[in-house]
Amino acid sequence: MIPTLTTSRLTLGPFSMAHYEAFHAFCATDRSRFLGGPTDDPRDSWDSCMQGLGQWIARGYGAFFMTETATGAPVGRTQLRHPIDLNEPELAWAVYERFEGKGLAHEAVLAVREYAYRTLGFAPLMSLIASENTRSVALAEKLGCVPDGEKAYDSDVSVTIYRHPGVGA
């Protein structure tokens, strides 16, 4: 049910317990603050992974777990995230610290964006990014995204909506 996408260095596809363990370790660090962390509660990490998987059943798209093809190491997660409180899907990503700065997030996001446009027929996607998340802002800009408003949450947190370019961009 979950397709596998490949890039020159990554395999993007199904979940494994190794992905859960790597994501749980990530969630326990301050690096997860833009995803609601940090938390060391295994249930929070598990639930996040399961939500990404469950969306495949409910919506026909969801999380792609990123694996370094050469080593089999979990790299992070790129997902077409569409919780009930969003009126359109979000293209989201998280890369674990040891894999940052290698262009892997860029590679993964391009592959998932292309899949969303060409296979699912999505219109230009959006990504929700906190202004303090400078690495993700820089990646969004490198991907050709432009600011397209703000989204406020009930918690008084506000994020910028970054609109991705359309098909073929």
Looking at the predicted structure, is the pLDDT value of residue 169 above 70? no
CATH number at residue 21: 3.40.630.30
Q: Does residue 18 fall inside a structural domain?
A: yes
Structure tokens at 142: 């490198």
Q: Taking the CB of residue 42, how many other CB atoms lie within 10 A of it?
A: 13
Residue 84 lies in a domain: yes
Percent of the chain at pLDDT exceeding 70: 99
Question: Looking at the 3D structure of the chain, how many domains does it have?
Answer: 1
Residue with tokens 């370094």: 68
The yes-or-no verdict on residue 137 having pLDDT over 70 is: yes
Residue 64, phi-psi category: left (phi > 0), alpha (psi -120 to 50), beta (remainder): beta
Judge whether 71 lies within some domain. Answer: yes
pTM, to two decimals = 0.95
Structural domain includes residue 83: yes
What per-residue string of b and e applies to 128-141 under the rule 16 or more CB within 10 Å gives b? bbeeebeebbebbe
Is residue 19, in this structure, part of any structural domain at all? yes
Express as a percent the part of the chain with pLDDT over 90: 87
Q: Which residue range forms the structural domain that includes residue 14?
A: 5-122
pLDDT digit string (tens) for 42-54? 999 999 999 999 9
Indicate whether 151 belongs to any domain: no
Going by the DSSP 8-state scheme, the letter that residue 156 receives in this structure is: S
- Helices 42-59 and 17-27 meet at what angle, rounded to 10? 130
Model confidence over 111-132: pLDDT tens digits?
A: 999 999 999 999 899 999 999 9
Q: At what angle do helices 134-142 and 104-118 cross, to 10 degrees?
A: 50
Separation between Cα atoms, residue 134 and residue 118, nearest integer Å:
29
Position 34 scores a pLDDT of: 82
Output the CA–CA distances (angstroms, integers) from residue 102 to 24, 27, 56, 88, 106, in the order listed: 22, 21, 28, 30, 9
136 located within any domain: no
